[in-house]
C-alpha cells in the first residue's frame, strides 16, 4: 500500500513539474534547495526537484509530538532517487538541539539526537551526505546569544568532539546565524570543521557579506542563498542586491573552486521558480 501511494505521488509530481525551469548541472557548484518547496512530504519534494537541481537540503526535525526523520525504507528510496538522478543531499540537523547548553542532560540529549539522525541518513548515497548543517544555538537570539561565551563555546567543543566519533570533520558545516561568527570561528579552526555561509542571515543581520566571503569562503562547503524583503528572510533571490549576487557568482561559479553546494534556502514553489529565473543568466554554457 505504501509503495502504491508513493507511486501515485510520483506520477502526480511528474505530471506537474515539467513546466518549471531546470538548472541542473548548469554551474560549477552544485545548486540546491530545500525539501519543502511543494506542500507535501519529503519524498514527493525530492521527486519534484530531482530533474531541476543538483542537491536537496533535507530539513529535518524531531520532537515529542512530530518528526519527519525518514524511515529506513524512505532512506533507501532517497538513495535510489539520488543514484538515478545524479542528486546529492545536504542534511540540516534538527534545530531543537542545544549542544552548547551548560545543562549536561540537555547537552547529552542533543548530541544523541544528532548522532541518531546521522546514523539514519548515512546510507542515503553511495557516500555519506555531502554535508551536515549544524546550528550552534545560543540561549537567546541576537548579537549576544549567551552571558558566558567561554562556557558556551567549551560545551560546543565537547559536543562536537563526541559527534565527530561518527562523522568526518569536513562534513560538519557550522552555519552563520544572527550573532557574529567570530564567536565560534575558533571551534571551526580547532576541530577542522567546515562552514555553511548563510548569505541571507548575513544580510538581515547587517554584516558585511564580502568580508565574510573573503575570510570564510575557502572553508565554506555550503552556502545558503535567500533574499530579504521588508525585514523577512528566506524569500526569493530577486531581493538580493544584484551587485552582491554578481560578486558571489563570480567567486563560486568557476571550475577552479572546490566542490561546494549553494542552496536556495526558500520554502515555496513561487520563490523557488523566481530564484531559478534570477540565476539562469549566470548558467555556464552547455
- When pLDDT is cut at 50, 70 and 90, the band that residue 65 belongs to is low
Q: Considering only CA atoms, give the Rg of the chain.
A: 19
In this predicted model, which residue has the larger pLDDT, 59 or 16? 59
pTM score: 0.91
* Res. 17: pLDDT tops 70: no
How is the chain split into domains, by residue range? 30-281
Mean pLDDT of all residues in 246-267: 97
Answer whether 49's CB lies under 8 Å from 33's CB.
Answer: yes
Provide the terminal-to-terminal Cα distance of the chain, rounded to the nearest Å: 42
Strand pairing class (261-264; 172-175): unpaired
pLDDT of residue 125: 75
- When pLDDT is cut at 50, 70 and 90, the band that residue 123 belongs to is confident
pLDDT of residue 9: 42
pLDDT of residue 15: 40
In this predicted model, which residue has the larger pLDDT, 2 or 163? 163
Mean pLDDT of all residues in 28-43: 96
pLDDT of residue 276: 98
pLDDT of residue 20: 63
* Number of Cβ atoms within 10 Å of the Cβ of 245: 18
Residue in 23, 37, 48, 56 with CA at minimum distance from that of residue 222: 56
The tens digit of pLDDT for each residue in 154-210 reads: 999 999 999 999 999 999 999 999 999 999 999 999 999 999 999 999 999 999 999
Q: Please state, in angstroms and as integers, the Cα–Cα distance from residue 263 to each residue in 57, 102, 183, 236, following that order.
A: 7, 32, 24, 12
Mean pLDDT of all residues in 216-222: 98
Q: Does domain 30-281 have CATH number 3.20.20.150?
A: yes
Amino acid at each position: 500500500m505504501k509503495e502504491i501511494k508513493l507511486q501515485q505521488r510520483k506520477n502526480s509530481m511528474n505530471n506537474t513539474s515539467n513546466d518549471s525551469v531546470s538548472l541542473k548541472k548548469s554551474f560549477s557548484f552544485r545548486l540546491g534547495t530545500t525539501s519543502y518547496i511543494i506542500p507535501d512530504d519529503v519524498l514527493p519534494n525530492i521527486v519534484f526537484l530531482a530533474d531541476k537541481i543538483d542537491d536537496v537540503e533535507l530539513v529535518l526535525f524531531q520532537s515529542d509530538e512530530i518528526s519527519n526523520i525518514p524511515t529506513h525504507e524512505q532512506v533507501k528510496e532517497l538513495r535510489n532517487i539520488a543514484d538515478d538522478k545524479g542528486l546529492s543531499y545536504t542534511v540540516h540537523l534538527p534545530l531543537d538541539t542545544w549542544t552548547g547548553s551548560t545543562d549536561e542532560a540537555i547537552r547529552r540529549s542533543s548530541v544523541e539526537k544528532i548522532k541518531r539522525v546521522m546514523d539514519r541518513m548515512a546510507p542515503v548515497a553511495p557516500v555519506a551526505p555531502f554535508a551536515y548543517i549544524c546550528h550552534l544555538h545560543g540561549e537567546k537570539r541576537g548579537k549576544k546569544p549567551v552571558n558566558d561565551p567561554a562556557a558556551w563555546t567549551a560545551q560546543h567543543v565537547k559536543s562536537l568532539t563526541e559527534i565527530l566519533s561518527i562523522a568526518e570533520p569536513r562534513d560538519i558545516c557550522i552555519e552563520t546565524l544572527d550573532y557574529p561568527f567570530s564567536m565560534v570561528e575558533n571551534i571551526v579552526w580547532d576541530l577542522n570543521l567546515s562552514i555553511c555561509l548563510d548569505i541571507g542571515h548575513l544580510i538581515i543581520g547587517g554584516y558585511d557579506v564580502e568580508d565574510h566571503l573573503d575570510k570564510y569562503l575557502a572553508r565554506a562547503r555550503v552556502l545558503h542563498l535567500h533574499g530579504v524583503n521588508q525585514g523577512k528572510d528566506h524569500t526569493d533571490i530577486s531581493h538580493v542586491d544584484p551587485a552582491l549576487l554578481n560578486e558571489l557568482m563570480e567567486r563560486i561559479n568557476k571550475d577552479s573552486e572546490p566542490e561546494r553546494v549553494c542552496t536556495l534556502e526558500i520554502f515555496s514553489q513561487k520563490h523557488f521558480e523566481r530564484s531559478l529565473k534570477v540565476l539562469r543568466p549566470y548558467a555556464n554554457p552547455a
